[in-house]
Amino acid sequence: MGGNLSIIRRQEASPAATDYDNVDDAYLSLTDHERQLIDSTWKQLTTSSEANFEEELGVRIFQRIFELNPAIRDVFPNFVELRDRDAMQRNVVFRCHGCRFVRAVRSIVDNIDSLGVTAVPNLNLLGRKHREFHGFRTDYLRTYEAAMEDVWREALGRKFDKPARLAWRKVFKLITSTVLQGYEQKDPIP
């Protein structure tokens, strides 16, 4: 992978992506329309009557991750015994982890025009920290992308149409590619 990971503004339309893998790992671009879609759908995702919407969204994402690939649960020693949705929902550590995950996504959305300032460096550091997690495999990042897409589709319904889905895939790919880049770095964690 490698390369300079960023999302740049483009005026022209994006090339139509028809497949999950059509998002370029090293160079991601968003049109103004895609940025508007991300902003509006993020607002819908995070506008909730629940006081802890970040926790709730994070719980849903991690529940889906574990459904898609139960082996990922083994990376999280505190979650190994959480075998059903209710147990996950009630577990404070699980909820806090989900909340931190959603805050990382929020950081991307909130800083989409200046990702290099905080969002990308923080995701890179997160990737470097994942080197310490026993059993973590980089192919798990694809499951994270798929889980986020599934949760977004469920939560947004018809608003998660093809243009919104393709825009969000770029964001999901930016997140996982940056984490992967950090994971693959050889320098020590500061």
Q: What is the full DSSP assignment across 69-100?
A: -GGGGGG-GGGTT--SHHHHHH-HHHHHHHHH
What does the block give as tokens for 85?
A: 């949705």
More confidently predicted of 182 and 114: 182
Confidence check: pLDDT of 27 > 50: no
Q: What is the pLDDT of residue 1?
A: 40
Specify the range with the lowest mean pLDDT, choosing from 39-53, 90-104, 118-132: 39-53
Window from 3-7, 17-21, 31-35 with minimum mean pLDDT:
17-21
Residue type, 186: K
Among 112, 88, 86, 82, residue whose Cα is nearest residue 175: 112
Percent of the chain with pLDDT over 90: 54
Enter the CATH code of domain 28-184: 1.10.490.10
Task: Specify which residues 53 forms β-bridges with.
Answer: none
28 pLDDT more than 90: no
Among the residue ranges 19-33, 72-86, 136-150, the one predicted with the least confidence is: 19-33
Task: Say how far apart CA 162 and CA 177 lie, in whole Å.
Answer: 22
Q: Count CB neighbours of 131 within 10 A.
A: 14
The predicted model scores a pTM of 0.82
Rounded to an integer, the average pLDDT of 165-185 is 93
Rounded Cα distance between 1 and 81, Å, is 35
DSSP string, 93-124: HHHHHHHHHHHHHHHHHHTTT-TTTTHHHHHH
Q: What is the pLDDT of residue 94?
A: 94
Q: Kindly report, residue by residue over 74-123, the tens digit of the pLDDT.
A: 899 889 888 899 999 999 999 999 999 999 999 889 888 877 777 788 88
Average pLDDT, the chain: 83
